[in-house]
A and B are shown apart, each in its own frame.
Chain A
């Protein structure tokens, strides 16, 4: 039975597939899919010049860079973007003291919202270290995503954030010549690193937009790299511990595997 019906079923699927193939191939030859502006002009993200300190199996965060990146987030990004999964207390990992964390929370301009349980009145209070960053409400065009996980939510996240922030430019003339319908609509901005080339966020960074406390010159590239590093930390705060643990685990496993191999060789020596 199996040998009778099996080949019939096999041929049935094969013919159906070849039918689909034929229909699709004829279609592809008759009306080839037109190239799109995205296919030709979208760019893959790239690293900043010296590279990120946290990449690679030994990579570590640069604490000073994370603090600078936090400053960029605070002074620029936090006007529109939330940081839902990060608590003020987490900032201690950037090298801030307990008192500094308290002060950052207290001075944060977006206050914690509370509802009075007796009257139902909505009021505000200063943030405390245990609070998460309060949600940012945004009324303009576009839909600014929460940034806590953004570097894990995009392919090559840190490079993507850096490239996007430094990638604003005028729409290339060749693009308009080749795809006259693809002019960037009003209210959007051309950025070849964005998935569909036109992003609702205006270029957020300009040289010297912030003044770094440590004297680093705040070029656009510098700020973009710093905030990309900061957002890598917000997405993966346990990264350093993960890599550190990984090396200890691999060291142990390597030794154990060598011993296991020697044991195996010893036991099998007699029967080969």
Chain B
């Protein structure tokens, strides 16, 4: 679907006309990211991050496929093969640093994309399906990143795998057999490493598939925009190309500068030194911490320190950690305010900024050693996290008095809109 004023693809070259008749692939691209896709004219730079996430996915797939040509998924040689890539493979060090920092860049971009969605309520009708697919992508990304971090078979790889798969043992009755079945053994070893490699290669292509559905679902209602007012007329939109290809091009340049600064000058800043020590099942690291992008959820996991009613603390932690993400699936039905954009929701906006701070605090605590003070702080922060989504958002939606919305996007941008209906 598109707006009635969307430009139609009219190939002038005979070859393109021939191609359009047999397989209208250029038409498809034209309507997806070309002049045939009308987009609200007021998108700010927060709307760059979807494209950037797509770029990160492609970057990870390309570097990952080449790394897989040199990597050996066997617990006896995996660590050595990574060092072989770093030392003996032509430009191998760059590929590996690009892939490791690419994962971090992907998560930075996707977190901004998600919080953009929170602020502008991008999950609200008619865009619920885009949001549901997006949360699915995020879950797949977490699984992929976790298994990828195991592959170098360093100390954090091994102990991270042990802790995370150990979470399944908290499930009553079937937990321990399930954990052993997932690992193919009693502890992470060659069987686990091999299947993690296989799945780490597979899942990115599953992500790619869901990304295509995500974009497909986006093109049905069209992009949201910072006012949250739906497109009313042609003057509200501009064609994707050249307007947003140009804007995304500039955003991509800024992103590439930051990413390459990390890659070439601080390539190990986001990693943990212990992962340069080969996995040793007999030596437990002093602090087992996951990669930074899991810290907020890790803090929630560790926040449950006391058994509650009849539920063991460990099981509560596991339930809460998964619920912390699953709750996003229900956002379209929890936040029922008819106004989308946080710009016009004064009360919601305060809680949104509180949530941003809250998640940063959780992240800080998740990356810190499990000392009492950090655990106590993360307990308060995790409490707010759940209350925010499940209690505060529904209440705010019903009691808030939103600020007046502009009549249209055009009016918001230009200060006037010729289409404005005369005051009756």
Spell out A's residues near B (CB within 8 Å). 2-3, 6-7, 9-11, 13-21, 23-25, 27-28, 33, 57, 85, 90, 145, 148-149, 152-155, 157, 195, 235, 237-238, 242-243, 245-247, 249-250, 253-254, 256-257, 260-261, 263-264, 267-268, 271-272
By a CB distance below 8 angstroms, the chain B residues around A24 are 305-306, 372, 375-376, 379
Q: Is B87 within 8 A of A85, CB to CB?
A: yes
Count residues of B near A (Cβ-Cβ below 8 Å). 62
Q: Which of B263, B276, B286 contacts A246 (CB 8 A)?
A: B263
By a CB distance below 8 angstroms, the chain A residues around B371 are 33
Q: Is B390 within 8 A of A10, CB to CB?
A: yes
Say what secondary structure dominates the interface of chain B: helix
Q: Is A250 within 8 A of B257, CB to CB?
A: yes
Q: Is A153 within 8 A of B94, CB to CB?
A: no
Q: CB-defined interface of B74-86 with A at 8 Å, one 1/0 digit per residue? A: 0000001001001
**Which of A17, A33, A247, A267 has the most C-beta atoms of chain B within 10 angstroms of its own C-beta?**
A17
By a CB distance below 8 angstroms, the chain A residues around B304 are 16-17, 20
Given the interface contacts A2-B333, A10-B390, does A246 sit within 8 Å of B273 by beta carbon?
no
In the complex formed, the residue of B with least CB distance to A9 is: B390
Q: CB-defined interface of B24-63 with A at 8 Å, one 1/0 digit per residue? A: 0000000000000000010000000000000000000000
Q: Is B273 within 8 A of A242, CB to CB?
A: no
Per the 8 Å Cβ criterion, residues 302-324 of B in contact with A are 303-306, 308, 311, 313, 316, 320, 323
Per the 8 Å Cβ criterion, residues 348-390 of B in contact with A are 371-372, 375-376, 379-380, 382-383, 386-387, 389-390
What's the nearest-Cβ distance from chain A to residue B306, in Å?
Answer: 4
Q: Which of B260, B311, B379, B380 contacts A250 (CB 8 A)?
A: B260
In the complex formed, the residue of A with least CB distance to B97 is: A242
Q: Is B375 within 8 A of A7, CB to CB?
A: no
Q: Is B376 within 8 A of A28, CB to CB?
A: yes
Q: Is A6 within 8 A of B390, CB to CB?
A: yes
Q: B65 in the interface, Cβ–Cβ < 8 Å? A: no
Given the interface contacts A20-B308, A24-B379, does A3 sit within 8 Å of B246 by beta carbon?
no
Q: Is B386 within 8 A of A261, CB to CB?
A: no
By a CB distance below 8 angstroms, the chain B residues around A23 are 305-306
By a CB distance below 8 angstroms, the chain A residues around B41 are 271
Q: Is A14 within 8 A of B383, CB to CB?
A: yes
By a CB distance below 8 angstroms, the chain A residues around B267 are 242
Q: Is B391 within 8 A of A10, CB to CB?
A: yes
Q: B216 in the interface, Cβ–Cβ < 8 Å? A: no
| Cross-chain pairs A/B with CB under 8 angstroms, 13 sampled | A3-B394, A16-B320, A17-B382, A19-B306, A21-B376, A21-B383, A85-B83, A148-B83, A153-B274, A238-B93, A243-B265, A260-B246, A267-B243
Q: What's the Cα separation between A7 and B335 when bound, in Å?
A: 12
Q: Is B320 within 8 A of A13, CB to CB?
A: yes
Q: What's the Cα separation between A28 and B373 when bound, in Å?
A: 9
What's the nearest-Cβ distance from chain A to residue B403, in Å?
Answer: 24
By a CB distance below 8 angstroms, the chain A residues around B264 are 242-243, 245-247, 249-250
Given the interface contacts A13-B320, A13-B323, A264-B246, does A20 sit within 8 Å of B303 by beta carbon?
yes
Q: Is A254 within 8 A of B257, CB to CB?
A: yes
Q: B205 in the interface, Cβ–Cβ < 8 Å? A: no
Q: What's the Cα separation between A237 and B84 when bound, in Å?
A: 12
Q: What's the Cα separation between A19 and B267 when bound, in Å?
A: 41
Q: Is A260 within 8 A of B379, CB to CB?
A: no
Q: What's the Cα separation between A148 and B273 when bound, in Å?
A: 13
Q: B252 in the interface, Cβ–Cβ < 8 Å? A: yes
Given the interface contacts A3-B336, A57-B265, A242-B264, does A10 sit within 8 Å of B389 by beta carbon?
yes
Q: What's the Cα separation between A6 and B332 when bound, in Å?
A: 12
Q: Is A238 within 8 A of B86, CB to CB?
A: yes
